[in-house]
Amino acid sequence: MLVVMRDQASRDEIDHVVELLEEAGAQAHLSGGEIKTIIGVIGDRETVYALELDGLPGVEEVIRVLKPYKLVSRDFQSADTVVRVVRGAIVGGDSFAVIAGPCSVESLEQMQSVARAAKDAGAVILRGGAYKPRTSPYSFQGLGLEGLKMMREAADEVDLPVVTEVLDIRDAETVAEWADVLQVGARNMQNFMMLDELGKMGKPVLLKRGLSATIEELLSAAEYILKGGNRKVILCERGIRTFETYVRNTLDLAAVAALKTLTHLPVIVDPSHATGRRDLVVPMARASLVAGADGVMVEVHPEPERARCDGPQSLDIEAFEAMMADFAPLLRLVGKDARVT
């Protein structure tokens, strides 16, 4: 439920509503705009709905939202959430954030070479997997803590922040020690215990859409993190399972445009996992930009043919640089910050 206060409602009027809600055992989350305050209410639906808040002083409207999410909704907060990562990286608002790096961290030299290229071309965050969610238990599982340290060292040399996946909640503290943004992979999107934990931690979270998750399920997963108190969430469309086999997944670009209307959270696209094919990554990255995405996350490897994971969908450095240069006219077209070039 949302309680929309009148323009310039007084502090006492707002506090009174919050008090009543808390007495009823509900949580009140305030979203204070310049003119209006909106109170997002979380609690037992029946109890909260039964409260007679409509006529109270300062209350303009009580919206009984039926969706399974509230805090992530545009109804709750109309202004875009801008996620500020360390070292000046911004995701959301007027910027277009490029996140680049290999599927998995393999060596310090590999990370240094991608980190330099990423920085020079205008990417704002370095990616790399240290704990890898592999379909087969016999595939390369990642370098773990050693990988985190290599990525940190390479990123520090070029002053970039780092995003990496938390595969298991038991590793969350360790990953948070070495990384700036914590990634929840597609396979963990509905790991509710993990979402709860990340909600309590302060670091920005990059939440990837599940392999077969609906838009509503993605938003509900994000709601767990916001409900825990962490509003720094970036959503990522990474393709979904369909009957099509030519591509690894089907990139749901309509979801990007839909999410931008449904939620205030930034939405980025991962065209690498969405297509699984190097030749489709750049066109889909360009399409994502034009569809309104707040950024892209692209797999880049100095020698894709030698990659231990996802080589066929990784761009080499030259192709990555060309993609970045080609973004410039499109960024002007959509009125986004052209800092990526």
Contact call for residues 271 and 284 (beta carbons, < 8 A):
yes
Shortest reach from residue 41's CB to Mn ion, in Å: 40
Q: Site residues for ligand PEP, window 152-171 (CB under 6 A)?
A: 165
Residue 186 interacting with ligand PEP (CB under 6 A): yes
Residue 221 interacting with ligand PEP (CB under 6 A): no
Binding window for Mn ion (CB under 5 A); candidates: 262-270, 303-311, 319-327, 329-337: 303-311
Q: Site residues for Mn ion, window 150-209 (CB under 5 A)?
A: none
Distance CA 30, CA 183 (A): 27
Shortest reach from residue 316's CB to Mn ion, in Å: 15
Residue 310 interacting with Mn ion (CB under 5 A): yes
Residue 144 interacting with ligand PEP (CB under 6 A): no
Shortest CA distance to 321 belongs to which of 147, 116, 53, 146? 116
Indicate the Cα dihedral angle 91, 93, 96, 98, nearest 10°: 0
Distance CA 217, CA 220 (A): 5
Residue 227 interacting with ligand PEP (CB under 6 A): no
Report the SS3 class of residue 297.
strand
Out of 208, 248, 260, 336, name the contact with ligand PEP by CB under 6 A.
Answer: 208
Q: Among Mn ion, ligand PEP, none, what binds residue 133 when CB lies within 5 to 8 Å by partner kind?
A: ligand PEP
Distance CA 71, CA 297 (A): 25
CA geometry: angle 266, 271, 277, nearest 5 deg:
175
Nearer to ligand PEP among residue 91 and residue 103 (C-beta): 103
Contact call for residues 194 and 188 (beta carbons, < 8 A):
yes
The tokens describing 38, both together, are 């909106």
Number of residues that bind Mn ion (CB under 5 A): 2
Residue 252 interacting with Mn ion (CB under 5 A): no
Per CB under 5 A, residues contacting Mn ion are 103, 310
Per CB under 6 A, residues contacting ligand PEP are 103, 129, 133, 165, 185-187, 208, 238, 273
